[in-house]
A and B are shown apart, each in its own frame.
Chain A
Amino acid sequence: VKFVDEFRDPAAARRLVREIGALAEEDRHYKFMEVCGGHTHTIYRHGIEQLLPDNIELVHGPGCPVCVIPMGRVDDAIHVAEHDGVVFTSFGDMMRVPGSQGDNLLAAKARGADVRMVYSPLDALEIAREDPSRDVVFFAVGFETTAPSTAVTLLKARTLGVENFSVFCNHVTIVPPLKAILDSPDLRLDGFLGPGHVSTVIGNRPYRFVPRDYGKPLVTAGFEPLDILQSIQMLLAQLAEGRCEVENQYTRIVRDEGNPRALEILAQVFTLRPHFEWRGMGFISQSALQVSEAFAAYDAERLYEVPGVRVADPKSCQCGEVLKGVIKPWECKVFGTACTPETPIGTCMVSSEGACAAYYNFGRLRHAAVPDDVTALPVA
């Protein structure tokens, strides 16, 4: 725990905020996108926006694995979960994500489907090993961060000869949506806080196109509050010095070359899908992974018939614009009224890493930071 405290030191925060204030030009408005949902969560959880000067705006990016899953895939998941004999395993967050007609996995569970929350795909494999009479399916979601653990699980399943285990694969990759955002005409950004955990796997090199082709700086950022402040400081320093490059703030974890072993395992177990639908962003080519031919026996999409129907987002839902950072959560027409964390319409309201949920749960404050003097007692 001490490890964590070091990165939450208020004195260090004040120092960084001063440096940020000195680097930011007064008459300029800065718009930086934090790519990951984990960043968004940290920013709201620790009240970082209130520490920053008014002319620095943080725009929330697409890097929330739950938020980008389209409704049709949730319908497919529910369909698999309701097959006889299936134990359907999922991360907790995914269980509340709405499919079409507001259905979700929790509701399927209440109707009688055997849906269980797990913390890792290895837990799901364990359930399969303990009860060979049931077919255990794992609902795999996430970027390159979680894909390796799914891959390792499949390798282990094969080694152990487990036959009643499969994966409903929805793993996605980070670079294609970043490109889509940079190509989007309605957004003007000054730089990126780049993905932290994803980069532990893929490294920093895949982002070189951002400064090279689009002229935007990118700093790979960690998830502690000081990481966020330092990354903003590094972006401002690049702009002030006229530099434009990929820099790594998260050096304690991220290597430039990533994790070659993890990449190797990914290549063994998965192949790129020609295209994949992203919630609110439409189809993006080569943006997702599917289980490779060699592991076909573990691919739930091959084992179970699923509707595979594309379901259009509800008209009122503006998750796509929120995910691309075009609008802020509160600017969505249904934010906080029809769409709330308990009755979410859009995915951004479901996961605690979703921009809308983070803003709704932590950010609905219209004043400056409250002073931390509420515990003082008068001397008797």
Chain B
Amino acid sequence: MNDHDHEHESARESVVLDKIERMRRRRPRLKDDTVTLAHGAGGKASAALTDAVFLEAFRNDTLEPLGDAGLVELPSGERLAMTTDSFVVNPWRFPGGSIGSLAVHGTVNDLAVAGARPRWLTVGFVLEEGLPVDELRAVTKEMAEAAERAGVTIVAGDTKVVGTGAADGLYINTAGVGVIPPGRDLGAHRVRPGDKVLVSGSLGDHGMAVMLARGDLNLEADIVSDSAPLNGLVETILEAAPDTRWMRDATRGGVGTVCNELAAASELGVVLSERALPVHRPVAGACDLLGIDPLYVANEGKLVAVVPVEQARAALEAMQGHEHGHEAAVIGEVREEPPGMVVIATAFGGSRIVDMLVGDPLPRIC
């Protein structure tokens, strides 16, 4: 092939890539007739279901951005964040946490990264006939302890019992309300090229801890879930870097998915450095064995923050000084190019894109 052919070929490739980018920018369409596990995995299928069924039915300006929490304004002018989350993790207990602590942290963190100070939680239990009361008591105690540590009060609740086989032992739903201090405005609309992307600590600890705790991998490794409340860390970051643009907790779908949401919402490029990603050795090893990228493995106590470059060092140092952020790192930068995409410089010296995850192969983790 001569140079001319080569140029012609890359031009043709470029046309194909442009077409794909246009396709990707469209919201995914729901084509399925039945719900499959993929609809709950947090990837494109979940987005399609949310759009076609839930948003279609409930559409309003507060819901539409589909953020971690809905932001509402009271007649008095005060602003609140509200959110809800259900927990079906199996097994109920894993190194570093349980379905109870997770149910508190999950909702607290969704409020915190929206810029709110979490205050009140409600809890709903769906119990399967035959569940030992001691088990329920233990889970409830873990919830109470987690709520106390996070500084939130559980103010209402509900219990439903279903027959044997109608649920997998125990499901928990929590909803929460937090107060947004005046002047706080976090969102993708504030993100600018040149901003730094920070993560508050190591990637993938929760997802891997749960996978190993299930025991069907026959793998043993010293991996502990990072399940933790992030509201204290958020306040610390906002104090050190008041112009912080945007935050997300990197739960299901991991840091890779969160960065894709950032790229899509800001219509800017997110460029990451593989070398800079903090990953604990046992997690990296288990991921390697299983062919899973730690970028997509769930966390329950990690957030991604976008901070203007001049406040990035202050934000980093503030995170590293906090008990839930001592392994924080700058992992990348926001750039004009390529818009709407996440690109990573590989540790090996090449580069590749980091796309939204498709069809999560992992079991229930939250």
**B359 lies within 8 A of chain A by Cβ:** yes
Task: Tell me the minimal C-beta distance from B51 to chain A in angstroms.
Answer: 14
Taking a contact as CB atoms under 8 Å apart, the answer to whether A10 and B13 are in contact is no
Measured in the bound complex, the distance between the Cα atoms of B355 and A361 in whole Å is 6
Most buried by A among B16, B217, B344, B346: B346
Taking a contact as CB atoms under 8 Å apart, the answer to whether A336 and B352 are in contact is no
Report the nearest B residue to A350, measured CB to CB.
Answer: B359
**A111 lies within 8 A of chain B by Cβ:** yes
Residues of chain B contacted by A372 (CB below 8 angstroms): 273, 275, 345, 349
Residues of chain B contacted by A309 (CB below 8 angstroms): none
Task: Tell me the minimal C-beta distance from B246 to chain A in angstroms.
Answer: 17
B27-44 Cβ-contact flags toward A at 8 Å (1 or 0): 010010011111000011
Residues of chain B contacted by A96 (CB below 8 angstroms): 359
- A residues 318-364 touching B (CB-CB < 8 Å): 328, 330-331, 335-337, 340-343, 352, 360-364
* Neighbour of B10 across the interface among A48, A119, A361, A366, CB < 8 A: A366
Report the nearest B residue to A51, measured CB to CB.
Answer: B350
Measured in the bound complex, the distance between the Cα atoms of B343 and A106 in whole Å is 31
Report the nearest B residue to A38, measured CB to CB.
Answer: B291
Residues of chain A contacted by B344 (CB below 8 angstroms): 370
Taking a contact as CB atoms under 8 Å apart, the answer to whether A8 and B350 are in contact is no
Taking a contact as CB atoms under 8 Å apart, the answer to whether B310 and A378 are in contact is yes
Chain A interface, number of residues (Cβ within 8 angstroms): 54
Measured in the bound complex, the distance between the Cα atoms of B348 and A13 in whole Å is 7
Report the nearest A residue to B48, measured CB to CB.
Answer: A342
Chain B's interface size range is: 35 or more
Residues of chain B contacted by A92 (CB below 8 angstroms): 361
**A133 lies within 8 A of chain B by Cβ:** no
* Neighbour of A10 across the interface among B273, B276, B314, B348, CB < 8 A: B348
Taking a contact as CB atoms under 8 Å apart, the answer to whether A106 and B271 are in contact is no
Report the nearest A residue to B361, measured CB to CB.
Answer: A92
**B14 lies within 8 A of chain A by Cβ:** yes
Task: Tell me the minimal C-beta distance from A177 to chain B in angstroms.
Answer: 23
Measured in the bound complex, the distance between the Cα atoms of B23 and A341 in whole Å is 13
Task: Tell me the minimal C-beta distance from A109 to chain B in angstroms.
Answer: 8
A367-380 Cβ-contact flags toward B at 8 Å (1 or 0): 00111101101101
Measured in the bound complex, the distance between the Cα atoms of B20 and A336 in whole Å is 6
Count of A-B contacts with CB under 8 A? 147
Report the nearest A residue to B282, measured CB to CB.
Answer: A1
A141-159 Cβ-contact flags toward B at 8 Å (1 or 0): 0000000000000000000
**A294 lies within 8 A of chain B by Cβ:** no
Measured in the bound complex, the distance between the Cα atoms of B20 and A369 in whole Å is 20
Report the nearest A residue to B292, measured CB to CB.
Answer: A352
Residues of chain A contacted by B17 (CB below 8 angstroms): 330, 336, 364, 366
Taking a contact as CB atoms under 8 Å apart, the answer to whether A47 and B359 are in contact is no
Residues of chain A contacted by B285 (CB below 8 angstroms): 1, 4
Taking a contact as CB atoms under 8 Å apart, the answer to whether A123 and B216 are in contact is yes
Task: Tell me the minimal C-beta distance from B149 to chain A in angstroms.
Answer: 32
**A182 lies within 8 A of chain B by Cβ:** no
Taking a contact as CB atoms under 8 Å apart, the answer to whether A375 and B348 are in contact is no
Taking a contact as CB atoms under 8 Å apart, the answer to whether B349 and A362 are in contact is no
Residues of chain A contacted by B190 (CB below 8 angstroms): none
Would A365 and B353 be within 8 Å (CB), given that A47-B346, A342-B358 are in contact? yes
Taking a contact as CB atoms under 8 Å apart, the answer to whether B45 and A375 are in contact is no
Taking a contact as CB atoms under 8 Å apart, the answer to whether B350 and A46 are in contact is yes
- A residues 1-37 touching B (CB-CB < 8 Å): 1, 4, 8, 10, 13-14, 29
Residues of chain B contacted by A328 (CB below 8 angstroms): 13
Measured in the bound complex, the distance between the Cα atoms of B38 and A92 in whole Å is 13
Taking a contact as CB atoms under 8 Å apart, the answer to whether B309 and A47 are in contact is no
Measured in the bound complex, the distance between the Cα atoms of B333 and A44 in whole Å is 22
Measured in the bound complex, the distance between the Cα atoms of B19 and A96 in whole Å is 25
A302-314 Cβ-contact flags toward B at 8 Å (1 or 0): 0000000000000
Report the nearest B residue to A92, measured CB to CB.
Answer: B361
Measured in the bound complex, the distance between the Cα atoms of B212 and A44 in whole Å is 28
**A186 lies within 8 A of chain B by Cβ:** no
Taking a contact as CB atoms under 8 Å apart, the answer to whether B36 and A107 are in contact is yes
Residues of chain B contacted by A1 (CB below 8 angstroms): 281, 284-285, 288
A279-311 Cβ-contact flags toward B at 8 Å (1 or 0): 000000000000000000000000000000000
Residues of chain B contacted by A54 (CB below 8 angstroms): 6
Residues of chain A contacted by B28 (CB below 8 angstroms): 342
**A45 lies within 8 A of chain B by Cβ:** yes
Residues of chain B contacted by A111 (CB below 8 angstroms): 34
Task: Tell me the minimal C-beta distance from A72 to chain B in angstroms.
Answer: 23
- B residues 284-327 touching A (CB-CB < 8 Å): 284-285, 288, 291, 309-310, 312-314, 316
Report the nearest B residue to A44, measured CB to CB.
Answer: B352
Residues of chain A contacted by B154 (CB below 8 angstroms): none
Taking a contact as CB atoms under 8 Å apart, the answer to whether B349 and A374 are in contact is no
List 15 A-B pairs, Cβ < 8 Å: A10-B347, A29-B1, A45-B346, A46-B350, A106-B36, A111-B34, A119-B217, A362-B352, A364-B17, A365-B343, A366-B13, A370-B343, A374-B335, A375-B273, A378-B310
* Extra 17 A-B pairs, beta carbons < 8 Å, given A336-B16, A363-B352, A377-B316: A1-B284, A10-B348, A29-B1, A45-B346, A107-B36, A111-B34, A119-B216, A119-B217, A330-B17, A331-B12, A336-B20, A341-B359, A364-B17, A366-B13, A372-B273, A378-B309, A380-B313
4 A-B pairs closest in CB distance: A47-B350, A336-B20, A372-B345, A374-B333
